[in-house]
């Protein structure tokens, strides 16, 4: 008993190829978008690290405080972003150390700690005001 004619079999095979091709294209596009998102994130974070290590660091802290005020209503998203930034900081420190830039890595880590402490102090002050 023949389930499919040869013509139907070819059509099914062609439809499968088309479906496979569509899925493959969607997969490629998804990873291109993922790459763009990651590259944008990396560039933004490296830019922040560069500012933290610059001589204009106190001005950067003030700008960060203003940015934090704008983001206050986004607890869950902000928590996820904070975790992502912390993970990227660890990656950056790792690469700096691999490049034998321990002093720069230490300065970055110390600066980020100071910035975190200042943010926490700012958050505590703003919570006490409410």
Q: What is the pLDDT of residues 14-25, one digit of tens each?
A: 778 888 888 888
Torsion of CA 77, 79, 81, 86, to 10 degrees: -170
* Domain assignment present for 14: yes
What is the SS3 assignment for 65-105? HHHHHHCCCCHHHHHHHHHHHHHHHHHHHHHHHHCCCHHHH
Q: Where do we find the tokens 């102090």?
A: 121
* Domain assignment present for 1: no
Taking the C-alpha atoms of residue 108 and residue 10, their distance in angstroms, rounded to an integer, is: 62
* Domain assignment present for 59: yes
Q: What is the pLDDT of residues 28-60, one digit of tens each?
A: 898 899 999 999 999 999 998 888 888 776 665
Q: By residue range, what is the domain housing residue 42?
A: 6-129
Counted domains in the chain: 1
Higher per-residue confidence, 124 vs 45? 45
């Amino acid at each position: 008993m023949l389930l499919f004619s040869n013509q139907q079999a070819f059509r099914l095979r062609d439809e499968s190829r088309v479906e496979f091709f569509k899925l493959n294209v969607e997969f490629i596009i998804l990873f291109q978008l993922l790459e763009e998102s990651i590259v944008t994130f990396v560039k933004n974070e490296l830019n922040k690290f560069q500012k933290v290590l610059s001589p204009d660091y106190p001005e950067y802290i003030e700008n960060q405080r203003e940015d934090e005020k704008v983001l206050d209503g986004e607890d869950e998203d902000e928590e996820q972003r904070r975790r992502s930034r912390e993970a990227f900081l660890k990656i950056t420190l790792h690469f700096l150390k691999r490049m034998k830039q321990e002093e720069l890595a230490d300065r970055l880590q110390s600066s980020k700690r100071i910035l975190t402490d200042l943010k926490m102090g700012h958050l505590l002050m703003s919570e006490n005001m409410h």
